[in-house]
Amino acid sequence: MNGIGALVAGPRTGPGEGLMDVSNDLGFSFVRHCGSLDGLSACVAKARLCFVLFAETADPRSYAGLLEKVRAAKSRAIRFLPVVYFCETPRPEVIVTCLGMGFDDILTMPFTADVVRARLRQQIGRTISYFETDTYFGPDRRRLSGKQTKPRRGDGNARRYEISRSPTSGITILREKVIGAEPELAQASLLHPA
């Protein structure tokens, strides 16, 4: 994980402390506790790519504010950061909640360095599809069912991004497409600034 930073969100004790220990064992360039968007901005300035690792809490929705700030950031270097939830007790309702919140991955026990490193590497060096609607921003989950279905939408149009993440170049938007828009809206589509 050389050249990549890790930001750990959650309590400084218990699961948060354990996640800090695991993160230090993974060989990240740096590991910091993070509780705000300002902390994310400072870390992204230090490394081209950072992971945001969320320690388990009684209710993952307690992270909604921070996660929404990440996903609504104007900077693509923050907006498309890989966000991962670490779940010690994987209950179905927790997994469903995390999927709906737009986490890139949800890791369950055991949190060995080899297992975590392998899962995190899946977020680097490949094309990843994201969808944005008025009610969801996160990875394309349709691949999980093996079906190609239309993305869920709220009341508006959807936007599909194809991105790539790299420790050397950071986050690159490869393609962006407005889905279900009037033709003039699709032509007016602009990428978010770096």
At 13-23, the pLDDT tens digits run 888 898 999 89
Q: Cα separation of 176 and 193, whole Å?
A: 13
- Order of strands across the sheet with 137-139? 137-139, 127-132, 158-166, 170-179
pLDDT at 151 over 50: no
Q: Give pLDDT, residue 37.
A: 66
117: exposed, middle or buried (Cβ count in 10 Å: 0-12, 13-18, 19+)? middle
Angle, helices 113-121 vs 15-25, to 10°: value is 80
- Stronger pLDDT, 60 or 154, i.e. the higher one: 60
Domain regions of the chain by residue span: 4-187
Q: Cα separation of 98 and 82, whole Å?
A: 14
At 26-62, the pLDDT tens digits run 999 999 988 666 677 777 778 888 999 999 988 999 9
Q: Cα separation of 171 and 53, whole Å?
A: 17
Measured over the CA atoms of residue 15, residue 18, residue 24 and residue 26, the dihedral's sign is negative
At 108-150, the pLDDT tens digits run 887 788 889 999 999 999 999 999 998 899 998 765 544 444 5
- Stronger pLDDT, 93 or 1, i.e. the higher one: 93
Per-residue pLDDT averaged across 157-171, rounded? 92
Return the half-sphere exposure (C-beta side, CA atoms, 13 A cut-off) of residue 70.
32
CB-based contacts of 34: which residues, under 8 Å, 6+ apart? 7, 8, 9, 40, 43, 52
User: Homologous superfamily of 4-187 in CATH?
Assistant: Response regulator (3.40.50.2300)
